[in-house]
Structure 1
Amino acid sequence: MIPQPGGSTTNNTQPTRDNNLAMGNPSGASVGDPNNYLMVKSAYTLSYNRRRGIANWVSWHLSTAWKGTVRRGNDFRADATLPRDWPVIQTADYTNTGFDRGHLCPSDDRDGSVEDNSATFLLTNIVPEAPRHNREVWKELEDYCRNLLNGSNELYIIAGTTGTGGTGSNGEASKLADGKITVPASLWKVIVVLPVGSNDLQRVNSNTRVIAVNIPNRQTAADKPWYAYTLSIDDLERRTGYDFLSNLPADLQQILESRIDGGVN
């Protein structure tokens, strides 16, 4: 480990539950913008888009402190914390559409308590996802992230959507539920990998591993492994208009965001 200036020289090696938005707010989300609406949950933080009916992104911390043996709840439901005059997205809006109710923050990343797991089934954390995308290539990436915990790592993850129009089991679609829900063209993810410790922001350095992917929301995306879709964070920023890892020093962002991870370490 190479500590940054001002960082602690000692580390807590006991996994903890840390700030879900520690690496920064990539879109500058706030409660004043209905299409970039900041929602802070105990299990994750997200930016919701009223016009699209889905999240722009969801950010969460993952360590073994979040893990447990709670069973998957499957209690998909509307998010009652949205403003009352906004369109309500219901589970039935996804029925027979040819798209899965796909998680951004996965259920299996939050099985340490019933409350945490239940939070992942709020429809503000759900997007229309091509079935093979959801059950194969995206799931493989989710499993890969959780397997990294076995190496005494912790992760900071941001996942989101961009573009309009995907291909599900019924063919192409751009909108669901009479236009209430936008089908994204792709799902992306940024992953920061750190050894378990404390003072996480101060411990990110030029050798820190970062992974970025952008996977088309199509059935055929599953014909390739997830690491076939890796790209640099710089490239992902150009595609999304977001500023990832914004809480890190600018010179460190420049180094980390220019790399493309091989995805097979």
Structure 2
Amino acid sequence: MNALLKEWSRWASLVALAGVSACSSSDPTPTANLPEHLTLGNPSGAITDSKQPTNYLLSKRQYALSYHRDQGKPNWVSWHLDASWRGSATRQDNFTPDPSLPAGWYQVQASSYTGSGFDRGHNCPSADRTKTAADNSATFLMTNMMPQAPRNNQQTWANLEDYTRTFLSKGQEVYVICGSYGKGGTGSNGFKTTIDQGRVTVPARCWKVVVILPVGDNDASRVTTSTRVIAVDTPNDTSLGTNWGQYRTTVDAIEAATGYDVLSAVPAAVQQVLESRIDEGPVS
């Protein structure tokens, strides 16, 4: 990413974390829980301003995201996962429109994906938020969904999600940033560029970055050149393999494809090393 955009992203991240809108706006900016889920940065410099409909920051207790009104899906979703987020709450399966979007914006419905051939693919997974029923329900808001090919969602992506949670029993915590980009994917009913009468864009690619740390404090400053970072970029179609490891890439490549600064709060010298490296660790 070019230096100017990186600088803007870092500045906007700091502004958001301070609870101040980067633009003049009458919209309230929810800030109480931004530090946890944006600890490693705000990849696109998203702000809570209805005049920024393609990069609108939603900060929830369970995760933070940049929403794209015109695509009906998130640009990216970012969340922190440690043992405190896991519990005995069951999967709620209560897909619902997100009432926190600005008045007048189209609300993607639970039925918007019906008959499309694409799953309502979670960005922040249901199984990452099982402490309470309310936490789990938050993952079923439609602003957390992307149209995902069933094989991708139910096998490849699910295998990576399951693997990510294994770190919690090893005295570790993780930060996850994921999203989608491009236009056009192949679901069970064939290739489509949009669904829901054009209101929801079907992405061409689904990506994820996972940062693994030992449990501790001051997490962004504890990321070093030895930290394990997994970056994955998968095609959104029905032909991909179930082994997510074959889709590993660099953070740099994801940034080049999306225009984001994914780990903007991590020291620049550390970013330079980590973001150019393809993970070679175990996949299960």
Contact 2:117/2:149, CA 8 A, preserved across alignment: yes
**1:218 is matched with which residue?**
237
How big is each residue's C-alpha offset from its partner over 1:115-155, in whole Å with a ceiling of 9 and x where there is no partner? 11010000000111111111000000000000121211100
SS of the equivalent of 1:91 reads coil
Letter in 2 for 1:195: P
Gaps of 5+ in 2: 1-34
TM-score, scaled relative to structure 2: 0.85
Letter in 2 for 1:78: P
Letter in 1 for 2:74: A
State the distance in 1 between where 2:261 and 2:97 align.
29
State the distance in 1 between where 2:174 and 2:242 align.
24
Contact 2:84/2:131, CA 8 A, preserved across alignment: yes
Contact 2:221/2:267, CA 8 A, preserved across alignment: no
**1:258 is matched with which residue?**
276
State the distance in 2 between where 1:259 and 1:40 align.
30
Contact 2:46/2:55, CA 8 A, preserved across alignment: yes
State the distance in 2 between where 1:65 and 1:108 align.
13
How big is each residue's C-alpha offset from its partner over 1:92-119, in whole Å with a ceiling of 9 and x where there is no partner? 1111111111100000000011111010
Say which structure, 1 or 2, has more relative contact order (CA 8 Å, 6+ apart): 1
- Within 5 Å, which residues of 2 pair with 1:75-114? 75-114=94-133
Q: How well do the aligned residues superpose, as a CA RMSD in angstroms?
A: 1.2
- From the superposition, tell whether residues 115 and 224 of structure 1 become closer, same or farther in structure 2 (CA, over 3 Å): closer
**1:13 is matched with which residue?**
none
SS of the equivalent of 1:102 reads strand
Match of 2:37 among 2, 6, 20: 20
Give the Å deviation of 1:199: 1.6
Match of 2:250 among 207, 224, 232: 232
Give the Å deviation of 1:66: 0.4
Match of 1:45 among 64, 87, 92: 64
**1:15 is matched with which residue?**
none
Give the Å deviation of 1:263: 4.1
**2:167 is matched with which residue?**
148
How big is each residue's C-alpha offset from its partner over 1:142-182, in whole Å with a ceiling of 9 and x where there is no partner? 00000121211100000101100000000000100110000
Gaps of 5+ in 1: 1-17
Give the Å deviation of 1:224: 4.3
Letter in 2 for 1:97: S
Q: Which runs of 4+ in 1 moved over 2 A?
A: none
Letter in 2 for 1:122: L
**1:127 is matched with which residue?**
146
Letter in 1 for 2:39: A
Give the Å deviation of 1:262: 1.7
- Percent of counterpart pairs with the same letter? 51
Match of 1:246 among 264, 268, 271: 264
- From the superposition, tell whether residues 263 and 136 of structure 1 become closer, same or farther in structure 2 (CA, over 3 Å): farther
Contact 2:159/2:242, CA 8 A, preserved across alignment: no
State the distance in 2 between where 1:67 and 1:182 align.
32
